[in-house]
Amino acid sequence: MTEAGWKRIARPDLGLELCYPDPTPSGRPVDRDDEPFRRHRRVHLSSTDRCELYVEVVRFDDLSPQDEYREHRAYLEERLGAGSVTELTETGVGGQTAPAYAFRWDEEGGSMERSVLLLTAAGVTYRVIFDPRSELNRRIVAGLTPAA
């Protein structure tokens, strides 16, 4: 369901639809990037502060959730340091369970974190990264639906 005034992204090649406000409730413009991640289809949304709105969805046609976690964890720990990525757990999403993990790092201005959901549909794995500290991000993620 699209909230009043929100933009809708409906990309059949991605396989998911999502909606977001532009500008954000605090008036920040939203940067939308549809460039592929490596060879994978993706959409990346972020506000200028990268906190109020930060959501990235990547479609993996060739990776299971467990394989995506192993690959992403290795990459993140090389980049951010050992212990920066949590273990894979299960969480509730839309009445179902999905694998989830998080990663954290320090940067100028404080500590940053991202939550990751690994959703599956029709043999496809979707990696959804978002800043869990933002209610807006949680609303966007909760509104993800299969593309028509």
Q: Check if the beta carbon of residue 90 is closer than 8 Å to that of residue 97.
A: yes
- pLDDT at residue 113 in the model: 95
pLDDT one-digit tens code per residue, 16-38: 999 999 999 999 999 999 998 88
| Residue 50, φ and ψ in degrees, nearest 5 | 60, 20
- pLDDT at residue 88 in the model: 97
**Class of residue 99 by CB neighbours under 10 A (exposed 0-12, middle 13-18, buried 19+):** buried
Q: Is the pTM of this model over 0.95?
A: no
| Residue 54, φ and ψ in degrees, nearest 5 | -150, 105
Share of the chain above pLDDT 70, in %: 98
- In this prediction, residues 80-94 reach a mean pLDDT of 93
pLDDT one-digit tens code per residue, 31-78: 999 998 888 999 999 998 888 999 999 999 999 999 999 999 999 999
- In this prediction, residues 121-129 reach a mean pLDDT of 94
- Using the Cα atoms of residue 53, residue 58, residue 64 and residue 70 in order, give the sign of their dihedral: negative
pLDDT one-digit tens code per residue, 97-117: 999 999 999 988 789 999 999
Please give the domain boundaries of the chain with CATH numbers for all domains. 6-146 (3.40.1000.10)
